[in-house]
Amino acid sequence: MNVEPVHIWEGSERNLLSYYYATKLTIKKLTGKSAEGEICVKDYIECGIEFSNPWEAVLENGNWIVSRKKDDSCFWMNKKTGEVFFTANCGVNDAIKVFISERIKDFISTGIAKISLAKYDGPIVRYVGSCACDRLELSCKQNPFSWLAFTAGKFPGRCFLCSCGMQWWCSDPNDHLWEKVFDEKAWEMLLTYNGIDVKPIVFFEGAEIKGVKLLQTLVDNGLIVFSNK
């Protein structure tokens, strides 16, 4: 019999360590002193492959001690001790354990059963005035680009489509810094999720272009080559 999970986290891809990102966490069972569930992790070093692992945790002295659950799907194991791991990378293993422990604590404190990404459902009205790219290039805390004045709030947050066709994203709302978006998949993501980078992006500086691209796009196009591949 299938049992409904008590908590599902599906937030923005959360960096664990290096190019490893948590994409989904499920708490399937939770008692006063133990918990178990499953975590999904994306490995961009291996071209964005996603893998899932079952986990279990016990409460000891106020801390949730997490381990990879031992089952038939185990691949990484210490043959001497019998301990099993999420990956071969010790640092990533530790980061996964910390991430799971934090999500358990968050769920206990909030009681929210499902955390998912909210999509933008407002109007999308394109700006049709004169080109504003110069203003965006020079935008800073002392001289910020007035997104509200140019969009009247009728466009996904932190995004701006200039009348010339250039796509812009506010990479730092505090300092009002804007970057060009040359990756259509990145632009689609930002419009869909109201300017939130739910998947990892990088500021790509090539010979001819400088701007925002999805990490996955760079990997797919061979623009990033990892040293251990």
pLDDT per residue over 50-87, tens digit each? Answer: 999 999 999 999 999 999 998 888 888 888 888 899 99
Q: Return d(Cα 55, Cα 83) in angstroms, integer.
A: 13
Question: Hey, which bits of 173-209 come out as E strands?
Answer: 177-180, 201-205
* Domain extents in the chain: 7-116, 133-220
Q: What pTM was estimated for this model as a whole?
A: 0.82
Q: Are 103 and 27 in contact (CB under 8 A)?
A: yes
Tens of pLDDT, residues 179-209: 999 999 999 999 999 999 999 998 866 655 5
